Amino acid sequence: AVACWKFMLDHFYHWQAPTEEDIYQTLRDFSKAVNSYGYGPCYVNAPVVTALWEAAGLETRTWTITGHTIPEVKYGGAWHLLDADARGWHRKADGQIASVQELANDPKLFSEPKEKSDPYYPYGLPDAVVKPFEHWGPACKIMDLYLSKKDNYMLNRRAVMGHPMYLTLRPGETITLSAANEGKWYKFQGASTNDLATGPLEVDKKVAYGNGRLTWRPDLKTVPAPDLLWLGSKNVRLADGRLLTEKDGEPGVAVFRVWCPYVMVESKADLAVQGSTGSKVEISNDGGISWQEATNVTWAAQEGGGLKTAVDLTDRAVGRYEYLLRVTGNKLSLSGAQFDTIFQLAPLSLPRLKPGRNKVTVFRGPDEGHVQLVLGPSRVAKERYIVESQNMDLPKKLTPANTNELGFAVFRLAAPAALTALSLGANLNFDRGRGQRIEMLYSLDAGKTWTSIFKMTDNTNPDNSQFEFDKRIPLQNPSGSKEALVKVEMVRNSKYFGLMCTRFYAFYKQPQPEGARLAVDLAWQEKTGDQWADKKKSLVVDKFPADFDLDCGGEAVRFSTIRMTPAP
């Protein structure tokens, strides 16, 4: 438990809470929070550290006390507070770390603990204008929050998990992770005007976010069609280094997918088109369910004939992890394509190097692709995903329209290959009351048979009305189904009941070619005196995991970049 707390101190700092992807609640997914951001206030920090504790097999719960959210972890038959945001914990006389209730009942645990953490509440609370913690000294002020017990209550607000960090690099695709930044960060809703100008800041006022680049330039002479085209492509073929309309008289449709594990802050596409400007360019943010014609499109003549079109996708890609680009034309002829994306990442998630010998290991994750469905707070955002429903109301929550009557909604997830797993997560408002229930089911045979994976009835917990559902389900799929239906059934008898911030992921097998190899470039800097010198190591990995030594000189070392791309 203490090791997880220390991890948070080393990888997470206090700053504003991101919101993204049409979800009106703040981000609390562990993978996103630690890898893409690396910051958040107490009500983000607490769900992230509790997710880490639970991954370690520990039971957790969360409290709110006078405007501060704090996590507890259970071990040894008792609860213990380890605050990773304000950064402190206290040992009692028996040597055990105290709980929230014990701290609220005994001020001496603040002023005279048997042992206190290191650090021990080094920062103050943010003021009315959200900004990084300020130094203020002793723990007496944090003590006041505990002792005002009238508004201390348990709040089960945890992470809705499931976000995959895996990226299967396609031929011609390169990802670069950098500890430095290019001045591009996700300016999410709710960020103050002052902070919009600087970007995320650590307590010491230093800018503390990184950027990366994802570039995809497929070679149309060699790229396999399944690696180039996404679901919805039709009447097109690859021939002689071009993507062509296959049958005359019918429009050719080419759909390209860009997926990035890190939150995108800028994205552009360049297409080389033979023929006129008659091609139509559209963008989708919801997996191809709805499309919007691209507005930031420019056309220009290119050398050798034909046209080059540049599409600025930033306004549709920012704050997201995926978009689809669709090009339609009666005589479609593409001779080249390139997609460039800048994303935000947390520098603290990157490797640390030290002077001397460092052992570096390159791992390979599962050959797994995924599709996602994110239900936003608006009625329109939900309605476009629903394939069947009964007695459902669609405000911010997904909830039955009429009380004491069954309501349900069915959603579809479609993938390019046989499904192997589902990951379903949501926040539940489930206040106390008899006769209420919620059940989640899935079907791989178009709704003929359903399998229940989650059911909750009659909440009788006096301390809690908010719950989180999060589960990954391996699928037995002998028929090789590429589609899954997910059904949510509900009965309510109260006003405060429903499903919010819902995320569905479907996973499928995405095997790599036999003998696939990865080219890796590592760059770092070594300090001698007042000078920093750039260093680099390049290698090609064909067997995983692969270990190699990285010898670093100088008095200090700092990491710069990792660049990875499929090797020929």
Q: What is the pLDDT of residues 468-522, one digit of tens each?
A: 778 899 999 999 999 999 999 999 988 888 888 788 999 999 888 888 899 999 9
Do 57 and 366 meet the contact criterion of CB atoms below 8 Å apart? no
Phi-psi region of 494 (alpha: psi -120 to 50; beta: other; left: phi over 0): beta
Reading the block at residue 384, the tokens are 């476009």
**DSSP alpha helix (H) spans, 374-488:** 379-383
* 295 or 91, which is more confident: 91
CA-wise closest residue to 73 among 113, 46, 43, 92: 46
> Does the pLDDT value for residue 56 go beyond 50?
yes
More confidently predicted of 524 and 396: 524
Q: Which amino acid is it at 230?
A: W
| Tally of CB atoms within 10 A around 3 | 8
Give the Cα separation of 197 and 421 in Å (integer): 42
Before 132, cis peptide (omega within 30)? Answer: no
Whether the Cβ atoms of residue 255 and residue 230 lie closer than 8 Å to each other: yes
What three-state secondary structure class fits 327? strand
Is residue 295 predicted with pLDDT exceeding 60?
yes
pLDDT category at 130 given cuts 50, 70, 90 is very low
State whether residue 324 is helix, strand or coil.
strand
What residue type is assigned to position 348 of the chain?
L
CA distance 357 to 550: 6
Q: What is the pLDDT of residues 141-183, one digit of tens each?
A: 778 778 888 888 777 666 566 788 989 999 999 999 999 999 9
Q: What is the C-alpha R_g of the chain? A: 26
Under a CB-based contact definition with an 8 Å cutoff, are residues 509 and 417 in contact? yes
Handedness of CA 190, 192, 197, 203 (dihedral sign): negative
Tell whether the torsion through CA atoms of 119, 120, 126 and 127 is positive or negative.
Answer: negative
List, in sequence order, every residue forming a beta bridge with 272; answer none if it has no partner: 308, 336
**Binning pLDDT at 50, 70 and 90, where does residue 60 land?**
very high
Q: Quick one: pLDDT at residue 217? A: 96
Q: Give residue 138's pLDDT.
A: 47
Asked if residues 227 and 256 have their Cβ atoms less than 8 Å apart, the reply is no
For residue 271, give the nearest of 302, 227, 233, 247 by alpha carbon. 302
* H or E segment to which residue 10 belongs: helix 2-11
pLDDT band at 135 (very low <50, low <70, confident <90, very high): very low
Helical spans, DSSP H, in 239-378: 314-317
Instruction: Tell how far CA 510 is from the center of its chain.
Output: 20
Comparison of pLDDT for 158 and 90, the residue scoring more: 90
Hey, what are 447's tokens? 């709704």
Per-residue three-class SS string for 515-543: CCEEEEEEEEEEEECCEEEEEEEEEEECC
Which residues in 125-158 are b (16+ Cβ under 10 Å) and which e?
A: bbeeebebbeeeeebeebbebbeeeeebebbbbb
Residues 390 and 481: beta-carbon distance below 8 Å: no
Structure tokens at 241: 């280094």
Is residue 128 pLDDT above 60, yes or no? no
Stretch (H or E) spanning 334: strand 333-345
Q: Do residues 458 and 416 lie in contact, with contact meaning Cβ atoms separated by under 8 Å?
A: no
Residue 219 has pLDDT above 70, yes or no: yes
Instruction: Tell me if 192 sits within 8 A of 16, measured CB to CB.
Output: yes
Residues shown for the chain:
568
* Digit-coded pLDDT (tens) for 326-374: 999 888 889 999 999 999 999 989 988 999 999 999 998 888 999 998 8
CA distance linking residue 365 with residue 32, whole number of Å: 17
Q: Which of 79-93, 279-293, 402-416, 456-470 has the lowest mean pLDDT?
A: 456-470
Checking if the pLDDT of 111 tops 70, the result is yes
Q: What global pTM score does this model have?
A: 0.92
Interval 396-454: pLDDT, tens? 678 999 999 999 999 999 999 999 999 998 888 787 777 889 999 999 999 999 999 98
pLDDT at 94 over 70: yes
Q: Which pLDDT score is estimated for 346?
A: 95
- The DSSP annotation for 47-76 comes to HHHHHHHHHTT-EEEEEEETTEEEEEEEET
How far apart are the C-alpha atoms of 157 and 466, rounded to whole Å? 7
Residue 260 DSSP SS3: coil
Termini Cα distance of the chain: 45
* CA–CA dist 524, 552 (Å, integer): 9
Region for 399 from its dihedrals, namely left if φ exceeds 0, alpha if ψ lies in -120 to 50, beta otherwise:
beta
